């Protein structure tokens, strides 16, 4: 990762981590190298799981497990979480797979569990393409971007199962944060 990639990642994590509660058990979808767990040390999160198909192998990272695989297929059965994060990941996942997130996340989340998502604005793809040509960013998996529209996030989670706790734009309006909370049954 280049300096600018790390700077943008750290900014995303700083914004999103405000909504991770102390002692949460986390599922980080698209964890890459598990850096989010490092950034959350002060929150004293429980042993958690990161999952990413780009990981070469499943490995322990401190008290956390990084799984080489895909959600939900490779998550251990009967595992539940207080928080599911997807930071700069949703725009890489085909729409048809996203359509089942509502029920899949509901199954894995504890009552009052949170879903924390960051999604770049569509214009960012053009900016990243230029920055990659200038060799200023690596721009991970840009070829997977397909023009995902930020407003599509609102329709992914049924209002009877989740309520929108927070929505805000950041990184000069080029990135978006969504925090949904599972309704208590």
59's enclosing H/E stretch is strand 59-61
Reference 65, options 48, 88, 77, 81; nearest CA is 48
**Percentage above 90 pLDDT, the chain:** 63
pLDDT for res 7: 86
Radius of gyration of the CA atoms of the chain, in A: 16
User: pLDDT of 116-173, one tens digit each?
Assistant: 999 988 766 656 666 666 766 665 554 555 567 888 899 899 999 999 999 999 988 8
Region 4-23 average pLDDT? 92
Q: What is the mean pLDDT of residues 58-87?
A: 96
Mean pLDDT calculated for residue range 87-107: 88
Closest to 64 measured CA to CA, from 89, 39, 88, 86: 39
Pairing of strands 26-29, 81-87: parallel
Position 2 confidence tier, pLDDT thresholds 50, 70, 90: confident
Domain architecture of the chain: domains with CATH: 3-182 (3.40.50.150)
Task: Reply yes or no on whether the pLDDT at 97 is more than 80.
Answer: yes
Residue 182's contacts (CB-CB under 8 Å, 6 or more residues apart) are 105, 106, 109, 110, 111, 112, 113, 114, 115, 161, 162
Identify the pLDDT of residue 3. 79
H or E element: which one contains 28?
strand 26-29
Contact 158, 182 (CB under 8 A): no
The per-residue pLDDT for range 27-43, each reduced to its tens digit, is 999 999 999 999 999 99
Report whether 91 contacts 118 (CB < 8 A): no
Model confidence at 49: pLDDT above 80: yes
Q: What is the pLDDT of residue 11?
A: 92
Q: What is the pLDDT of residue 18?
A: 97
Tell me the mean pLDDT in the region 55-67.
96
Band (91; pLDDT cuts 50, 70, 90) = confident
Whether 116 contacts 85, CB under 8 Å: yes
**What does pTM read for this prediction?**
0.89
pLDDT of residue 148: 72
According to the model, what pLDDT value does residue 46 have?
Answer: 97
């Amino acid at each position: 990762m280049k300096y600018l990639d790390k700077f943008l990642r750290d900014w995303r994590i700083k914004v999103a981590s405000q909504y991770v509660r102390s002692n949460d058990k986390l599922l980080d979808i698209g964890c890459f190298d598990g850096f989010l767990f490092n950034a959350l040390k002060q929150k004293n999160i429980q042993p958690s799981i990161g999952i990413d198909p780009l990981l070469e192998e499943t490995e322990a990272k401190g008290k956390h497990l990084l799984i080489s695989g895909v959600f939900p297929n490779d998550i251990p059965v009967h595992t539940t979480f207080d928080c599911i994060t997807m930071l700069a990941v949703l725009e890489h996942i085909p729409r048809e797979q996203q359509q089942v997130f509502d029920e899949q996340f509901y199954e894995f989340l504890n009552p009052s569990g949170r879903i924390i998502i960051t999604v770049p604005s569509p214009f960012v793809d053009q900016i990243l393409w230029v920055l990659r040509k200038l060799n200023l960013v690596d721009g991970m998996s840009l070829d997977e971007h397909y023009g995902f529209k930020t407003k599509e996030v609102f329709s992914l989670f049924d209002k009877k199962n989740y309520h929108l706790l927070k929505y805000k734009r950041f990184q000069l309006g080029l990135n978006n944060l969504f925090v949904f909370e599972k309704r208590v049954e």
